[in-house]
Amino acid sequence: MSDPILPFIKTGDRSPYLAGVRCGGCGHVFVGEREICAQCAARGQMAPVRLAETGRLYNFTVVHRSFPGVATPFIDAIVDLDDGAHLKGTLVDIEPAAVRFDMPVRVVFREATPAGADRPYLTFFFLPQEGAAS
């Protein structure tokens, strides 16, 4: 399997997953690993969690101009995962005009080659949840 494009994408024994932590003090779920809570400043109370892979679209924009070599347009999406984490990613397999706030989405893992790189990396995308009522 290729290297992850971001450090919170983990390659587990069976399948990739997104790593997060839940604060025992305030309950906030963070994407990625950390020792101290940015919300309540609790120390030593972070429990590792495997982040949810379903959620709803909180916000989005359609990016038409990006850095050199990056294919556009693409949908830059902010998703509230079902476990309370908040995750930025690219929403694919949908026309921009069909995107709606709060539509259900799921996380999928795929290999892709970033602009300017000479090899693929492991990344994730958001997809519309098929059959789900939006």
Residue placing its CB nearer to another protein in the complex, 63 or 94: 63
Residue placing its CB nearer to another protein in the complex, 112 or 129: 112
Can you say whether the dihedral through the CA atoms of 129, 106, 55, 102 is positive or negative? negative
- Please report how close the Cβ of residue 12 comes to another protein at its closest, in angstroms: 19
Can you say whether the dihedral through the CA atoms of 109, 73, 86, 117 is positive or negative? positive
- Please report how close the Cβ of residue 90 comes to another protein at its closest, in angstroms: 6
- Please report how close the Cβ of residue 59 comes to another protein at its closest, in angstroms: 5
Task: Please report, as ranges, the residues that interact with another protein according to CB under 8 A.
Answer: 5-6, 28, 30-32, 38-39, 58-68, 70-72, 74, 76-80, 86-90, 96, 101, 112, 114-117, 121, 123-125
* Cβ–Cβ under 8 Å, residues 90 and 62: no
Residue placing its CB nearer to another protein in the complex, 98 or 131: 98
Structure tokens at 9: 């994408």
- The C-alpha atoms of residue 50 and residue 30 are separated, in whole angstroms, by 11
* Cβ–Cβ under 8 Å, residues 79 and 46: no
- Please report how close the Cβ of residue 106 comes to another protein at its closest, in angstroms: 16
* Cβ–Cβ under 8 Å, residues 54 and 107: yes
